[in-house]
């Protein structure tokens, strides 16, 4: 467990930050404070009206008349809400409220920071690793037998791709395996952050040219992690999870071997 102790020390800041963010307050902010910080008439309308996901909203003309705000201003704010994934505009249906997905709010900022060079993928990866380690215990204890069976099937599919002819990198299985481990957490912020990580991971193409041996080692770890979860050996699984993070390169590898994508 020495590796875990060293890793936990390295990411202490992130772990403390998230504990305060998610557990520090025992009750929600008062509604007036929340709405005052929400600088959008359209978003405040959604909150005030408590429009449930899947419900169709009134037209912008109707909302504008109710709020005393111009349609032009509401249209601009609607586009922001769409970019956050909070609403959609469907043909012959109109504006529809979508479920809250924190990954949509995070991803644009992450990709912008990576694109401008003001942030690095390694920094975001460190944050993701700290989240997975910190929430591991809660997550694995809530997995159902069906979840564990799904993890085993994902490992089988990954090996079939890696040992097939032609060889394929199991990118979809990689993402799905990690997200499935944490799928039972009742925390949309954690789940959204992890989903945003995998979108950024795909965009970064960090492992695009990684050698075949890299993927074999990665999935050997994944198989052992899943075996530990299925056997309810959660501390062993956590040690394996932490150790396998060291395999991730911090920069894209310039060399390419056989075509195995």
Q: Is residue 260 part of a domain?
A: no
Same domain, 196 and 81: no
- Tally the C-alpha atoms within 13 A of residue 1's C-alpha that lie toward its C-beta: 7
Does the pLDDT at position 226 exceed 90?
Answer: yes
Region 230-237: mean pLDDT is: 98
Q: Which residue range forms the structural domain that includes residue 88?
A: 38-97
Residue 22 pLDDT grade (very low, low, confident, very high; cuts 50, 70, 90):
very low
Q: What pLDDT score was predicted for residue 210? A: 87
Q: Are residues 68 and 152 in the same domain?
A: no
How much is the pLDDT for 10? 45
Band of the pLDDT at 68, cuts 50, 70, 90?
very high
Confidence of residue 207 (pLDDT cuts 50, 70, 90): confident
Same domain flag for 60 and 148:
no
pLDDT, average across residues 182-196 = 97
Domain boundary among 78, 97, 116: 97
Question: Which of 86, 107, 90, 89 lies closest to 42, judged by CA?
Answer: 86
Q: Do residues 219 and 162 lie in contact, with contact meaning Cβ atoms separated by under 8 Å? A: yes
| Torsion angles phi and psi, residue 201, rounded to 5 | -60, -45
- Whether residue 256 has pLDDT greater than 70: no
SS3 state of residue 95: strand
The whole-number average pLDDT for the span 77-103 is 94
Q: What are phi and psi of 39, to 5 degrees?
A: -85, 65
Q: Do residues 237 and 158 both lie within one domain?
A: yes
Give a yes or no: residue 33 inside a domain: no
Looking at the 3D structure of the chain, how many domains does it have?
A: 2
Q: Is 68 left (phi over 0), alpha (psi -120 to 50) or beta?
A: left
Same domain, 170 and 69: no
- Which CATH number goes with the domain that contains 45? 1.10.10.10
Residue range 112-120: average pLDDT?
94
> Both 198 and 237 in a single domain?
yes
Q: Is residue 87 part of a domain?
A: yes
């Amino acid at each position: 467990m020495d590796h875990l102790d060293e890793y936990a020390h390295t990411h202490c800041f992130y772990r403390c930050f998230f504990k305060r963010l998610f557990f520090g307050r025992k009750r929600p902010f008062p509604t007036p404070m929340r709405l005052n910080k929400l600088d959008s008439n359209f978003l405040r309308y959604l909150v005030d009206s408590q429009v449930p996901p899947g419900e169709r909203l009134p037209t912008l003309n109707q909302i504008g008349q109710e709020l005393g705000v111009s349609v032009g201003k509401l249209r601009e704010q609607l586009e922001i809400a769409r970019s956050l994934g909070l609403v959609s505009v469907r043909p012959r249906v109109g504006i529809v409220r979508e479920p809250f997905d924190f990954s949509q709010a995070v991803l644009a900022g992450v990709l912008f920071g990576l694109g401008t060079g003001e942030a690095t993928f390694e920094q975001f990866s460190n944050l993701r690793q700290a989240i997975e380690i910190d929430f591991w215990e809660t997550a694995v204890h809530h997995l159902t037998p069906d979840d564990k069976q799904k993890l085993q099937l994902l490992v089988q599919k990954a090996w079939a791709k890696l040992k097939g002819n032609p060889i394929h990198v199991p990118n979809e299985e990689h993402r799905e395996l990690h997200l499935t481990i944490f799928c039972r957490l009742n925390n949309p912020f954690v789940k959204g952050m992890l989903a945003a990580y995998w979108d950024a991971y795909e965009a970064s193409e960090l492992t695009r040219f990684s050698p075949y041996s890299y993927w074999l080692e990665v999935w050997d770890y994944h198989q052992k992690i899943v075996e530990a979860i299925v056997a309810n050996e959660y501390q062993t699984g956590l040690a394996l999870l932490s150790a396998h993070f060291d395999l991730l390169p911090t920069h894209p590898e310039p060399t390419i071997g056989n075509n195995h994508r």
